[in-house]
A and B are shown apart, each in its own frame.
Chain A
Amino acid sequence: MAKILIVDDSSYARTLVKRMLEKEGHEVWEASSGMDALEQLPTCQPDLVTMDLLMPGMEGLELIGHLKSMQPELKIIVITADIQDETRRELMDAGADAFLNKPVSPEVLVNAVRSLFVQE
């Protein structure tokens, strides 16, 4: 099972994702902003970050850059309301491992997480 840090400014969105991942037996941490995530990273040392894209303070693209520079092997799943293909390409180019659209279903999220760790 993986250690997963959920980053989203919405506590409702975090809780939704948290419940889905905990059912699968993952250990889940939460951060309410990009800055909060970066502060928790050294302590939490997650295998995977799930993150929103549009957040106050620090947006997703910038956060991916910081996360990857601090922990290059970190897996990242972006879960966003932005459904555009170009956004997906931009984020995958920046280092995201998967791109999911909100509202995300348990099946889609769980499969995305599994596929990342099966690859190894």
Chain B
Amino acid sequence: MSRLAGAEMQDAELLSPEELDVLREMMNIASGRAAGTLSGIVNRHILMELAQVAVLDRQGIFDFLEKEMGVIGSAVEQRFSGGLVGTSMMMMDYQSCAQLVELLGGEVFNGASQDLNEQSILYEVGNVILNSCVAMLGKQTGRRMHFALPRMYYNLRGRAIAENLISPADPNIYAIAMKSALKVGDMIFQIHILVFLLLPFDELRGIARRALNAL
């Protein structure tokens, strides 16, 4: 399994292997919900890959977003707050974006130009998939979240997202980052789901410790 950009050496320094294992398991279960939801929407079997999960500090978040999100066609971002705080993103390249719109009966666009119909399809699909994924994280941690309205991005640059995501006034922020690729077998179609839980370190560790203590 390849390492997430920005994650080099950080996992081992920040959390114990047992703590990281708990968070990976929770994120993989959330990724499974996203795949199941997408399968229901497109009425196709979704091939899941093992989600990549890493714990990142502030610089790691910037590195991750800059490297992982350099060339992205479209993305839907949905932030959440309450019991857990963070953001989730569904990202696609142009080809996958066109395939998704076609699967759902919309007209395929050319290049970066997208009409309102296509935008609304991506917006709705992103909203449903991200909600199911993040809600499963909430269920596993026993926390209730409030979801903000999704936002659409085109020609996304990762650094801009990171700057928008992290307050300069809060240097001690950490993230659990998950990258999960969902594919439809007989089509060239791939969606990446990113989920960031943005938490103070004690709270991040506390989620894992509570799960381990409950064993």
Residues of chain A whose beta carbon lies under 8 Å from any beta carbon of chain B: 10-13, 15-16, 19, 54-56, 80-84, 86-87, 101-103
Contacts and interface: CB of A to CB of B under 8 A. Distances in A.
Given A12-B212, A19-B215, A103-B29, A54 B49 contact: yes
B46 to A, nearest CB: 6
B45 A86 contact: yes
24 contacts: A10-B21, A10-B24, A10-B25, A12-B215, A13-B25, A15-B215, A16-B215, A19-B215, A54-B28, A54-B49, A54-B50, A82-B32, A82-B35, A82-B48, A83-B35, A84-B45, A86-B39, A86-B45, A87-B45, A101-B32, A102-B28, A102-B29, A102-B32, A103-B29
Given A81-B33, A103-B140, 8 more contacts: A10-B28, A13-B25, A54-B49, A56-B1, A81-B30, A81-B48, A83-B36, A102-B29
Q: SS class of chain B's interface: helix, strand, loop or mixed?
A: helix
Contacts of B25: 10, 12-13, 102
Contacts of B49: 54
Nearest to B32: A81
> Nearest 10 pairs between A and B by C-beta?
A81-B32, A83-B36, A86-B45, A81-B29, A10-B25, A12-B22, A84-B39, A102-B29, A54-B50, A12-B21
Contacts of B39: 84, 86
Contacts of B32: 80-83, 101-102
Interface of B: 1, 18, 21-22, 24-25, 28-33, 35-36, 39, 45-46, 48-50, 140, 211-212, 215
Nearest to A18: B215
Interface centre among B25, B35, B49, B211 (most CB of A within 10 A): B25
A84 B140 contact: no
Contacts of B18: 11-12
Contacts of B29: 81, 102-103
